[in-house]
Chains A and B, each alone.
Chain A
Amino acid sequence: MAGTRSQSGKLALAVPLAVRGQPTLVMQRLRETWRGVPIFSLLMLTGSILCALFAPLLAPYDPIKTSPAKALVAPSLSQHLLGTDHLGRDMLSRLIYGARISVTVGFLAVFVAGALGVLIAVVSGVYKGWVDRLLMRVTDAFLALPYLMIAVTVISILKPSMMNVILVIGLLRWMDYARVLRGEVLRLIEMDFVRLAIVAGCTRRRIIMRHIFPNMVNTLLVLTSLGVGAGVIAEAGLSFLGLGVPRPLPSWGTMLAESQKYLYTAWWLPLIPGLAISLLVMSSNLMGDWLRDRLDPTRRQL
C-alpha cells in the first residue's frame, strides 16, 4: 500500500511539473542535446551540403564555361571574389559546384563502407567461431592493402566515374567499421537483454534487427562522421591523380591538380580548393569527436 501511495505521489508531482514547464523543458532538452557542438563544423557541413544541393542558384558564374580573356584574374571584391583559373573560369563557382562531388562522394562512400562494415561485424560477432576468424583475417588483409594504389588501379580499369569512385572508396574503407562494430556486437551479445531475448524465443533475425543493431547505432554514427572526412580526402586524392570524377566537372581535387602548373603565377589556385577540402574534413572530424564524447563519455580518451 505504501508503495502505491509513493508511486502515485511521484506521479502527482511529476505531471504538473511537466505541464507547467513544457516549453522550457523542450528548450532545455534541445540545449542539452546540442551542448558543446562545434558550431564552425556544423556551419561548414551544412554550408557544404547547401552548396551541393543549390549549386546552380548559388554560383555567380558558369563553372565550366571558359573565357580565356579573363584567365588567372586574382581574387578581388569587384568581380571574381576568389579569382579565376587558367581557363578564365570563376573559382568561386567551381568551388560551389565542386562541393557537389566532394559531399556526394564523401557521404555515399561512407554509406557503402558502413553498410559493408556493419554486415561483416554482425555476421562475425553473431556466428563467431571460424566465420569470425576468417572474416577478421580478411579484414586484416584489407587493412594491409595499399588502398590508394588499388583504388587508382581499379578505377583506371573500370573507367573513372562518380559511381566507380564511390564504390571503390567504399569497398576499400570498410575495415574500421567492421573491427570496431564487431567488438560492439560481441559485447552486446553477452548482455542480459540479448540473453533474455534468446530465452524468450526471438528469432536470430529479430535479435539482430531489434536488439543488437539499435545499440550499435551510436558507434556507427561516430565512425561515419569521422569517415566522411576520409572519404572526401580519398576522392580529392583520386581526382588529383586524374582518376576521380571526369572533367570538366569541377572537383576540388581536380582543381588542385590543375593548379600545380600555375604555382608560380597564381597562388589562389592551390590555396582555395585545398582550404575547402581541409575545412570540410576538419569539420567532419570535429563533428565525429563531438559525437563520440556526446554519445559515449567513457571513450573520451580514444
Chain B
Amino acid sequence: MKLYIAKRLCEGGATIWIVTLVVFALLRITGNPIDFLAPPDMPWTDRAYLREAYGLDKPLWQQYVLFNKSIITGDFGKSLRGTQGAALDVLLERVPATLQLTVAALLFSIVAGIGAGVVSAARPDSIYDRIGKVIAIAGQSMPVFWVGLLLILVFTVHLGWLPSAGGVDRLGLQGLIMPSISLGWLLVASHMRMVRSSVLDVLDSDYIKMARVKGLPWHLVLWKHALKNAAIPVLTLFAVNFAHLVSGAVITETIFAWPGIGRLLVESILARDYAVVQTVVFFAAMVIVVVNILVDLMYAWLDPRIRVAG
C-alpha cells in the first residue's frame, strides 16, 4: 500500500507539473495577454508599461520561472479591481460558494444516479428501467445552462417556489436546490448508467446467489450486498466527472448569480483582470488534480486488487 501511495503521489506530482506547464502555455503562448488587458485605444507606452509590470517583456523561459515562483509563493499578483488586493485573496473569498454548489450537485447526482441505477438494474426492461433509460438519454443531451433556465422557468417564474439568484448566504439552503440540480444533472445520467451495468454484473455473481439462497430479503441483497460492490466503479468515473463539475460551475454560477469562482472568472474576464483570471484557472486545475489523486488512493483502499496490479 505504501509503495502504491508513493507511486501515485509521484504520478500526481508529474501531472501537476504538466498541468502548470499547460496552463502557462495556454495563457501565454496562444495569445497576447496585453491585448486582452488593454483597451484597444490604449497608447503604446502604457502597453509597454503593462508588459513590464506583468513580466511579459522577458524571454519565455524567464516568464515560466516567474510563473512557478508565483505558484510556490501563492503570489499571483494584484487584482486590478480597486482595493480588493491580492488575486489569491479575491479567489479564496469565492471558494466556499463554489464548494457548497459542487458538493450539493455531487450529492444530488450520486443519490439520484445510484438510486435510479439500482432500481433499473433490479428489474431490467421493466417500466422503471425504460423511464431510467429515457432520463439518462435526456440527461446526457441537455446542456447545463438549459436545465438551469428550464428550472427557473418552472419553479421561479411559473410556480414561484424557489428563488433563482443569489447564493447560500443570501437565500439559505433553498437557493441551493436549483443550481445543484442543474449542475448535477449531467452526472446523474453517467452515474446511473454505470451503477446499472455494474449492479447487473454483480447480481449475477455467486455471493449474491448465496445471499438469496440463505433467505435474505431481496431489498437487503440489492441495496446492501449488490450496491456495495457495484458502487466502486462509480469512483472511477469521478476523476473525469469532477472536472466536468468544476467546468460546469462557470455556467451554472452565471445563470444563478452564484458568488463562486466560476462567476468570478467570467467577471474577471469582462473586467480584464488578468491576475485573477490566471489564479482562478490555475486553482481550479490544481483542485481537480488533487481530488483525482485522493480518489485514486481511496479506490486502492477500497479495492485491494488495484494496489497489487498498480
Interface residues of A (CB under 8 A from B): 137-138, 140-150, 152-154, 156-158, 229, 233, 236-237, 240-241, 243, 253, 256, 259-260, 263-264, 267, 270-271, 274, 277-279, 281-282, 285-286, 301
User: How far does the Cβ of A175 sit from chain B's closest Cβ, in whole Å?
Assistant: 9
User: How far does the Cβ of A179 sit from chain B's closest Cβ, in whole Å?
Assistant: 10
- When C-beta atoms are compared, the residue in chain A nearest to B137 turns out to be A282
User: In the complex, A159 Cα to B197 Cα: how many Å?
Assistant: 44
* Residue numbers in A under 8 Å from B251 (CB-CB): 148, 237, 240-241
Chain B window 116-139, contacts with chain A (Cβ cutoff 8 Å), 1 for yes, 0 for no: 000000000000000000000110
User: How far does the Cβ of B237 sit from chain A's closest Cβ, in whole Å?
Assistant: 12
User: In the complex, A150 Cα to B246 Cα: how many Å?
Assistant: 11
User: In the complex, A237 Cα to B148 Cα: how many Å?
Assistant: 12
A-B contact pairs, 30 of them (CB 8 A): A142-B22, A144-B292, A145-B288, A146-B250, A147-B247, A148-B250, A149-B280, A150-B281, A153-B26, A157-B36, A229-B141, A236-B143, A236-B145, A237-B144, A237-B145, A240-B251, A260-B149, A270-B150, A270-B153, A274-B142, A274-B149, A274-B150, A277-B146, A278-B138, A278-B141, A278-B142, A278-B143, A278-B146, A281-B140, A285-B141
Contact of B149 among A137, A147, A259 (CB under 8 A): A259
Q: Is the CB of B23 within 8 A of A277?
A: no
Q: Is the CB of B36 within 8 A of A156?
A: yes
* Residue numbers in B under 8 Å from A143 (CB-CB): 239-240, 243
In the A-B complex, list the 5 residue pairs whose CB atoms are closest, starting with the nearest: A157-B31, A274-B146, A282-B141, A148-B247, A141-B18
Q: Is the CB of A153 within 8 A of B277?
A: yes
Contact of B265 among A138, A144, A153, A282 (CB under 8 A): A153
Is B19 positioned at the interface, with any CB of A under 8 Å from its CB?
A: yes
Is B152 positioned at the interface, with any CB of A under 8 Å from its CB?
A: yes
User: How far does the Cβ of A165 sit from chain B's closest Cβ, in whole Å?
Assistant: 13
User: How far does the Cβ of A187 sit from chain B's closest Cβ, in whole Å?
Assistant: 19
User: How far does the Cβ of A174 sit from chain B's closest Cβ, in whole Å?
Assistant: 13
User: In the complex, A141 Cα to B22 Cα: how many Å?
Assistant: 8
Q: Is the CB of B14 within 8 A of A277?
A: no
Is B231 positioned at the interface, with any CB of A under 8 Å from its CB?
A: no
Consensus secondary structure, chain B interface: helix
User: In the complex, A264 Cα to B154 Cα: how many Å?
Assistant: 10
User: In the complex, A237 Cα to B183 Cα: how many Å?
Assistant: 13
User: In the complex, A43 Cα to B291 Cα: how many Å?
Assistant: 42
Known contacts A144-B285, A152-B265, A157-B31: A270-B149 contact under CB 8 Å? yes
* Residue numbers in B under 8 Å from A138 (CB-CB): 18, 22
Contact of B19 among A144, A147, A241, A301 (CB under 8 A): A144
User: In the complex, A240 Cα to B284 Cα: how many Å?
Assistant: 21
* Residue numbers in A under 8 Å from B27 (CB-CB): 153-154, 157
Chain B window 190-216, contacts with chain A (Cβ cutoff 8 Å), 1 for yes, 0 for no: 000000010000000000000000000
Known contacts A157-B31, A263-B152: A144-B248 contact under CB 8 Å? no
User: How far does the Cβ of B47 sit from chain A's closest Cβ, in whole Å?
Assistant: 15
* Residue numbers in A under 8 Å from B265 (CB-CB): 149, 152-153
